[in-house]
Structure 1
Amino acid sequence: MKHRCFDADALSIDKDSGLSHGIKMRPTVVIGFVGSTLDASKIGPSRWNKWRPTVGLCMHEDLRVDRLELIHGDAHEGLARYVRGDIGSVSPETDVRLRALNFANPWDFEEVYGKLLDFARSYPFDPEAEDYLIHITTGTHVAQICLFLLTEARYLPGRLLQTNPGRGKDPDCVGLWSVIDLDLSRYDSIATRFAAQAAEGSSFLKSGIETRNAAFNRMIDEIEQVAVRSRAPILLMGPTGAGKSQLAGRLFELKRLKHQVSGAFVEVNCATLKGDSAMSALFGHKKGAFTGAAADRPGLLRAADKGVLFLDEIGELGLDEQAMILRAIEEKKFLPVGADREVSSDFQLIAGTNRDLGATVAAGGFRDDLFARLNLWTFELPALRDRIEDIEPNLAYELDRFAQREGMQVSFNKEARRAFLDFATAPDALWSGNFRDLGASVTRMATFAPSGRIDVATVEAEKARLKRFWTGGSQAPDPLAELLDDAALGELDPFDRVQLAEVVRICRRSRSLSEAGRTLFSASRTRRTSANDADRLRKYLQRFGLDWARIGA
């Protein structure tokens, strides 16, 4: 009797797993269906000239099957016993156990999956002591798909086993076998493609900008994974202008490209929804529901059906609207204003806020149950001043946006570019409006650029303009309030308080104690022959019970 095995590449995979002949290994258990057609044969010697998958898998010299769990329906019990007998004659060491499992309709996916799931949950698996192979060559196509899905989900803690009759004209009752490991990282070409696709998805979310901030890049990688694997709400936190709205739009486009949504992207600034109009705008209303309701209005939630709803500044919503949003997320249903019948909308929610929602919950301004629902996937976008290494790649992006919008290509000359970057990345550059500030700044310089080239004079004018914006706005919050208690603050003279507050602000915009010292003592340090600015700053902070680590925290 002739024995054939699979190709060398597949063999090397299984040797690593301890499945090949001659290696001390754990017992191997195969789970599969009896094949009502493929495993059937006429009684007599001629049956050994036919490939029968279940019998053949027990005849390989390089695959030892210690136990075979053979699933069958009552109608095929005789065939299962016949197959067990033949296996006993060619592989007496294989323990064949018949498992009766009946389906009213073997082509009903829900029934087949449900009963196989029950089988998997009740089976006494012991992955520490046994290796499991799930044979997917036999059974209906529905059964094979269900076995694949249950293995992929780890309800069946094994690997997929495929058998086939081999190639060539000579009859072969043994055939070939191969194991599919669902850990795709083990397959170099597939892993490389997946890595490239993941990088492509992350680049897409960043609008193709080659960002350099490592923490931001890691966060975008995580968001990309969540976006393609989950439909749960996503919460984007961060200051105004950090890019929450743009990122939400790119998330929608990514999901649309992957055919995960078919509806629209609906963006709502919740800060603009006030009073009775908020309910109507979000959930719609029936004609005559209130004065001025001259026609039915579907509402923004229904407009986002099968798509993505982005609720920017969700912390501005009233408590009643929050309650209805929570029910719409969980049950996909809500009641329009003035209606007596619920409507449905199946959307994915992305929420944005510049508030600390945890603190808002504690103050009673935001529902804790809605916050808990949103807080599964929470990502905090950093301010621009915390990503100063990303200012340079964003310059090119903003110039491209200007060119697309205005139809005119503009660039920096070398000196002007250096001058702007030195100013933009300095510790005292506030960028209080974050990327909105940067985008507006580039637009102004590009508009005023003579002959399409931004020169040093244009940059100097913009620097002065930005400084006026940053110093002429509303008073910034006192950084000392979160570092010192009321008693310590009360002991400070107004002179010391103003000076210390500015020192803390400079420290928080600096990457190190030394950089902060150089900024704070930039004039006096040039008049000294020896200077240790970091030590000088450290001693100053110690006067008030502060240190670098505490300020950074």
Structure 2
Amino acid sequence: MAKKTVVIGFMGTQLDSGLGAGRWAKWRPTVSLVQHEDRLIDRIELLYSKKYQSLADLLVKDIANVSPETQVNLVTAEVADPWDFGEMYAAIYDWARTYPFDPENEQYWVHITTGTHVAQICMFLMVESRQIPGVLLQTSPPRKQTQGEAGEMTLIDLDLSRYDSLAQRFSQAKDEAIEFLKSGIATRNARFNRLIEEIERVAVRSKAPILFTGPTGAGKSHLARRMFELKKARHQIEGEFVEVNCATLRGDGAASTLFGHKKGAFTGAAADRAGLLRAAHQGVLFLDELGELGLDEQAMLLKAVEEKRFYPMGSDKEVTSDFQLIVGTNRDLRVDVAEGRFREDLFARINLWSYTLPGLAQRPEDIEPNVDHMLARSSSEIGRNVRFNAEARAAYLLFAKSNEAPWSGNFRDLAASVTRLATLAEGGRISVEQVQAEVSRLQWLWQHAGGDAAALVDDAVDLADVLTASQLEQLDCFDRLQLECVVRICRQSRTLSEAGRRLFDKSRTQKAVVNDADRLRKYLHKFGLNWDALNR
């Protein structure tokens, strides 16, 4: 048995209008629904406002005249402002929630030719979200108007799963955005790639504050700017990218730089100043090293983020600025909150999206693609093509990925190193001798820190990533701290054996048979963990 066809739509107060006999000489969208001889419309659910009752009654009569088999239900939809999206969507949504849809026996066509543009958009969203289980129906007048002509009727199915090419295009756009955030560098570290994938989703969907924590040179500022450029390319923001290092702000200058001031607000304030928060209006404000900002400025910033308004120094008149805040810090703000150096309410406000960027030493597999990227950039800057010879490349990467290279300055150290190599390369080739000299320079650079290179790296470990809640509850403080250290070393190491050598560096010398990997494997097994799980 064929399903009944039900059309849902708004009455068109303009297109459907007409009272005299001449109305039959014009194309009326709602009436045209029943003028197609090859398509029977069993029922029409016609939404309308009661102030147009006479027109609605006339349409019911005209439809009955053309198609007596078609039932018309008049549905009152009283909307004070038909151009108000929230009000219109609520009216349609409330009606759809109580309507007795019967998809097994009826098919639903949602007519989007009539009604305000807002109503049409709301209908589209209701179908796309399956709140109305149907397809869109678009009608259009005949090319040559003649009496009784039905015009054209087109059905649009919004089931995107049927359109493989469109789904592939959406996937491609996402991949392109992720590559953009990574500056086109083919990073291989699985944890970092998952991190960037989530940041991409947040970048294009959210305007809430974002907190980047990580060691100096880990790329916080660079990633913030790439997020801004991605949003700008998608026309999600109109303003500029404004960056400030809070560690450089002191005294009255801090509040003045951020919030502006009125002339005469303090000694030296010779003229009005707008401030960087206002400069970031409709754009992105990146505050690096936010933990260095004073408590008074933190309180002012909290108000500006929450209310989009604040008082410039020396002014009794509020100003407004609507910006997205991205924050960077190499400090653990949770510790600063506990010790009273950072406001708890501000931390809660900026901590909706919080990400810890790993240092370069935690991503040894990403060193090679970053070296290639930086070498290509250096070649462009100096105006000549520069490459490693095979032996030099192998020697440099062997050192760069080893425990001897802490990369305490992270990507800043790596960029400076590659720049030196490219600049000094004779004939566009980096030799083994140059690499040896560069390695000596880097060792001298990092010599002041002393001790284990891993101590230079601040790589926070959250055991909730690898253990269940019940497992965490059963851990003693001692076991928790020990396991955090073990997980950190495992993530810093390339192999299970390397991690074992680092963890058992003293006791291994006292054993007749050394099996660092087996000792570490057994320790992890106590907690239901394994090497692969820690390095996914």
Using structure 2 for the length normalisation, give the TM-score.
Answer: 0.80
Change (3 A) 1:168 1:518: farther
Match of 2:364 in 1: 388
Picking from 63, 68, 73, the partner of 1:97 is 73
Picking from 513, 525, 534, the partner of 2:496 is 513
The residue correspondences of 1:372-387 to structure 2 (distance < 5 A) are: 372-387=348-363
Distance (Å, rounded) in 2 between the aligned partners of 1:59 and 1:216: 60
The residue correspondences of 1:150-189 to structure 2 (distance < 5 A) are: 159-165=135-141, 173-182=149-158, 184=160, 186-189=162-165
CA displacement 1:9-60 (0-9 Å, x = unmatched):
xxxxxxxxxxxxx566xx875432112444356777994x975432443577
Distance (Å, rounded) in 1 between the aligned partners of 2:496 and 2:210: 36
Change (3 A) 1:93 1:365: farther
Q: CA deviation at 1:83?
A: 2.5
Percent sequence identity is 57
Distance (Å, rounded) in 1 between the aligned partners of 2:347 and 2:5: 48
The residue correspondences of 1:94-133 to structure 2 (distance < 5 A) are: 95-101=71-77, 109-110=83-84, 113-123=85-95, 125=97, 129-130=101-102, 133=109
Change (3 A) 1:370 1:257: same
Match of 1:301 in 2: 277
Q: Does 1:312 align with 2:288?
A: yes
**Tell me, what secondary structure is at the counterpart of 1:262?**
coil
The one-letter amino acid of 1:116's match is: M
Q: Does 1:348 align with 2:320?
A: no
Q: CA deviation at 1:202?
A: 2.0
The one-letter amino acid of 2:499's match is: A
**Tell me, what secondary structure is at the counterpart of 2:267?**
coil
Picking from 91, 116, 135, the partner of 2:111 is 135
Q: CA deviation at 1:244?
A: 0.7
Q: CA deviation at 1:147?
A: 4.0
Match of 2:344 in 1: 368
**Tell me, what secondary structure is at the counterpart of 1:254?**
helix
The number of residues matched between the two structures is: 510
**Could you tell me whether the CA contact under 8 Å between 1:428 and 1:506 is conserved in 2?**
no
Distance (Å, rounded) in 1 between the aligned partners of 2:403 and 2:100: 56
**Could you tell me whether the CA contact under 8 Å between 2:497 and 2:516 is conserved in 1?**
yes
Distance (Å, rounded) in 1 between the aligned partners of 2:258 and 2:173: 36
**Could you tell me whether the CA contact under 8 Å between 2:11 and 2:30 is conserved in 1?**
yes
Change (3 A) 1:505 1:38: closer
Kindly report the root-mean-square deviation, in angstroms, between the aligned alpha carbons of the 2 structures.
4.4
**Tell me, what secondary structure is at the counterpart of 1:123?**
helix
Match of 1:212 in 2: 188
Distance (Å, rounded) in 1 between the aligned partners of 2:395 and 2:256: 51
The one-letter amino acid of 2:497's match is: S
The one-letter amino acid of 1:433's match is: G
Using structure 1 for the length normalisation, give the TM-score.
Answer: 0.77
Distance (Å, rounded) in 2 between the aligned partners of 1:147 and 1:399: 53
Distance (Å, rounded) in 2 between the aligned partners of 1:59 and 1:361: 71
Q: Which ranges of structure 2 fall in alignment gaps of 5 or more residues? A: 464-474
Q: Which ranges of structure 1 fall in alignment gaps of 5 or more residues? A: 1-21, 489-496
**Tell me, what secondary structure is at the counterpart of 1:430?**
coil
Match of 2:10 in 1: 33
CA displacement 1:121-165 (0-9 Å, x = unmatched):
432516895456432111344543454466667887765332234
Q: CA deviation at 1:103?
A: 6.5
Change (3 A) 1:151 1:294: farther
Match of 2:235 in 1: 259
The residue correspondences of 1:139-538 to structure 2 (distance < 5 A) are: 139-141=115-117, 143-145=119-121, 147-148=123-124, 159-165=135-141, 173-182=149-158, 184=160, 186-473=162-449, 476=455, 507-517=490-500, 532-535=515-518
The one-letter amino acid of 2:45's match is: E
Q: CA deviation at 1:508?
A: 4.7
The one-letter amino acid of 2:387's match is: S
Distance (Å, rounded) in 1 between the aligned partners of 2:43 and 2:377: 65
**Could you tell me whether the CA contact under 8 Å between 1:309 and 1:348 is conserved in 2?**
yes
Q: CA deviation at 1:175?
A: 4.7
Q: CA deviation at 1:360?
A: 2.9
Q: CA deviation at 1:62?
A: 8.7
Change (3 A) 1:501 1:133: closer
CA displacement 1:488-512 (0-9 Å, x = unmatched):
9xxxxxxxx9xx9999986452244
CA displacement 1:237-270 (0-9 Å, x = unmatched):
2222111101111122222222333322111111
**Tell me, what secondary structure is at the counterpart of 1:144?**
helix
